[in-house]
Each structure stands twice: as structure tokens, then as C-alpha cells.
Amino acid sequence: MARFSVDEAMLRAVALAGRGLGTASPNPVVGCVLLDPDGEVVGEGFHAYAGGPHAEIVALAQAGERARGGTAVVTLEPCDHVGRTGPCSLALIRAGVARVVIAVPDPNPVASGGAHTLRDAGVQVEFGVRAAEAEAGNVAWLTSTRRGRPYVIWKYAATLDGRSAAVDGTSMWITSEPARMDVHALRGTVDAVLAGVGTVLADDPRLTARNLRDGTLAIRQPLRVVVDSSGRTPAGAQVRDAAAPTWIATAAEVGAGPDGRVDLPALLAELHRRGVRAALLEGGPRLAGAFLAAGLVDEVVGYVAPRLLGAGPTALLDAGVTTIAEAIDLEITDVTRIGPDLRVTARPRKRES
């Protein structure tokens, strides 16, 4: 196998971790690369699904005796508790690993402590190698664990002049098929898809993750959440079919905010309790505005079509901004061309208190 520096091994571990996106939840995505004393890769692994072997265990199984005296390069601090699997810290010690290099400490108080256990056993432990890359790859789980609520991605599609539909309400299709396929891939990486009842009444969406070419459903479906303060979702709405689980979240069940509508922080707290670590907010413009006004959006993914309408509904309404000084500033992290469209990814900047 190849010889890696620790830095190269961590980048490989970050890439491996990404293979667990959408399947490892509610656990984190984690990657591990094992190097022998000469720097040769002798094992690698990632956490594929909750309840399955952790990344370190997969890598150790590959390495066998070649792990002894070597270095484990891991994107997240090895767990130190007994859950559905045993502690990875003890597995590394038993395997005779001499050094463990960790990108990010585990913020979960239930599982953290692995570094301390390793050091007590005489294992050399280092933190911080490629921490930024590991944080970015595991951002949903880390954010959710630190804040006690899901990481929220607001996704929208609009024309170049910001319109989400024409004056007559037609919106199929503003963006191209490649862009719509990309949205379905994005749905496959999250635990829940949220939409307002207005969108359900206007468009009757399915909110499932599927292959647009043949209509087949993805094996894993996110929870469909309709934010419906007064319970107006029709019995025959597509979101009520058997294709995926659905929760009609009403103010009576979740709790009402000052405006009498569903209390959004309470909604997110309940979703977190249900194991949702990443949520995709898909519609409509008023619900997106309410989330942004409350500071509950962590990432924005906009699909922008090279088309102009000049009039019609906009992608966003009433985000709590009344003057230019209150504008929600974004930091663009990626711009990618998807067919004829652009996918712009950004994160809201922290506001000065």
C-alpha cells in the first residue's frame, strides 16, 4: 500500500469519513487511516451506519498485527464509552498503536475522553492536524452536538433576478434536470426535509429522495416535516403517502411562538430529540424568512438559473430585515456549475452583538 505523511493520511481520512454522510446519522461521520512505523498505510475505514463498526475498528481489522507500533490518524477523537459498540480507545490500546493523531476533539460528553484514556496507557496523542477540513466534513453532527439542535440548510431555486415562480404561480421547472438531481442527492445526506404548509398546499410536493430518471426511491429517506401551525395539510397530500415517514408539526403539538405559529426553536429541539442532526429547509419563502430572522439557518444552498422573469414570487420573504444595515451577510464557500445553472453555497456570518 502507499506511504503517507500524517498530513496526507488525515486528508485521506477526511475523504473516507464523507462516505458515511447520510447513513451514519445520528452518529458522526468519521474516517481513520492506520500507518505502520514506516508510514505505510496498513488499514483504513469509515463509520458507515449507526450501530455498525466505527472507523477505527474497520481500519484495525484490516491492519491486524501490522498496527502494532504504528500511528492511527482519525478525524474525530476516538470514543471512550460502551454504546452499541465498544470503546475505540481501548481497541487502539489493545492493538498496540503507539501514536494517535486526531483532527477534532469529541464535543459529546457521553463519548469523549478517548484521548485521556490513550495517554494514560502511554499512547502519544496529538490534536489539530487538518482540523478545518475535518470540521467542514462533519459540520452537521458537530453543530448539532454543540447546540442541541439540527444543522439547518436552507435550499432554494430561483431565476437570476431572484424569482421562485412566474406571476401565474408556475415554477416547473425554474432550474435544469441536473440541478434537480443534485437537490435529490442533497436530500440523501440529511435526516429531515422541512416545508411549510403553504408550499404543500400550492405544490403538493413529495419531499422524497429519488432518482429523477426512473423515479425509484433512495434506500434511505429523510423524515418529511410539514410546519403546519393549524393542521391544514390535506389527508390526500403526497407527503402523507407511504414513501417516507412524515411529521405534520402543529403549534398545538410543538408549541406556539409569539406570533401563534409553530415555535421554531422548539421544533428543532424536538427534531434533535428524534435523532435529526441535519435538516434541509426547502420551502416556502415565508418559512425560510422566519428561520433566518430567528438565526436558525446554518448554511444556504441556492440554485440559480440563467433566466429572468421580472415579476412573480421571490425566494425569500420577511427575514426580519428592514434596513440595509440589518442585511444578513453571507460568506460564499462554494460556487459550482450544475448543467446551465449555478449552485451557490454560503454560510451566514455571525452578527455583532
Residue 331: pLDDT over 80: yes
Handedness of CA 316, 320, 321, 326 (dihedral sign): negative
Q: Output Rg (C-alpha) for the chain, integer angstroms.
A: 22
Q: What residue has cell string 398546499?
A: 201
Q: Are residues 45 and 185 in the same domain?
A: no
User: How many angstroms separate the CA atoms of 346 and 54, rounded?
Assistant: 31
Residues 172-198 have pLDDT tens digits of: 889 999 999 999 999 989 999 999 999
Q: Are residues 126 and 184 in the same domain?
A: no
67 is in an annotated binding site: no
Q: Are residues 172 and 289 in the same domain?
A: yes
158 is in an annotated binding site: no
203 is in an annotated binding site: yes
* Domain end among 116, 143, 170: 143
Contact of 117 with 90, CB cutoff 8 Å? yes
In a domain, 69, yes or no: yes
User: How many angstroms separate the CA atoms of 299 and 302, rounded?
Assistant: 10
Instruction: Tell me the residue range of the domain where 284 lies.
Output: 150-348
Q: What residue has cell string 452499541?
A: 84
Contact of 241 with 226, CB cutoff 8 Å? no
The percent of residues in the chain predicted with pLDDT above 70, rounded, is 99
Contact of 33 with 9, CB cutoff 8 Å? yes
Of 77-86, 129-138, 243-252, where does mean pLDDT reach its minimum? 77-86
341 is in an annotated binding site: no
Count Cβ atoms within 10 A of the Cβ of residue 202 and give its class: 0-12 exposed, 13-18 middle, 19 or more buried: middle
Helix/strand/coil for 65: helix
User: How many angstroms separate the CA atoms of 48 and 25, rounded?
Assistant: 9
- The pLDDT of residue 353 is 46
Nearest to 101 by CA among 121, 138, 132, 129: 129
User: How many angstroms separate the CA atoms of 60 and 68, rounded?
Assistant: 10
Q: Which residues are annotated as catalytic?
A: 56
* Domain end among 143, 166, 183: 143
Q: Are residues 38 and 12 in the same domain?
A: yes
* Domain end among 143, 163, 192: 143
pTM: 0.90
Residue 288: pLDDT over 70: yes
What does pLDDT average to over the chain? 93
199 is in an annotated binding site: yes
- The pLDDT of residue 3 is 87
**Across residues 219-247, what is the average pLDDT?**
94
Residues 106-128 have pLDDT tens digits of: 998 877 889 999 999 999 999 99
171 is in an annotated binding site: yes
54 is in an annotated binding site: yes
Q: Are residues 125 and 206 in the same domain?
A: no
Contact of 107 with 146, CB cutoff 8 Å? yes
In a domain, 330, yes or no: yes
Q: Are residues 86 and 213 in the same domain?
A: no
88 is in an annotated binding site: yes
Count Cβ atoms within 10 A of the Cβ of residue 13 and give its class: 0-12 exposed, 13-18 middle, 19 or more buried: buried
- The pLDDT of residue 166 is 92
Residue 1: pLDDT over 70: no
35 is in an annotated binding site: no
- Kindly report the CATH number assigned to the domain that includes residue 130: 3.40.140.10
- Kindly report the CATH number assigned to the domain that includes residue 169: 3.40.430.10
Strand partners, 299: 153
Number of domains in the chain: 2
Q: Alpha carbon 199 to chain centroid distance?
A: 23
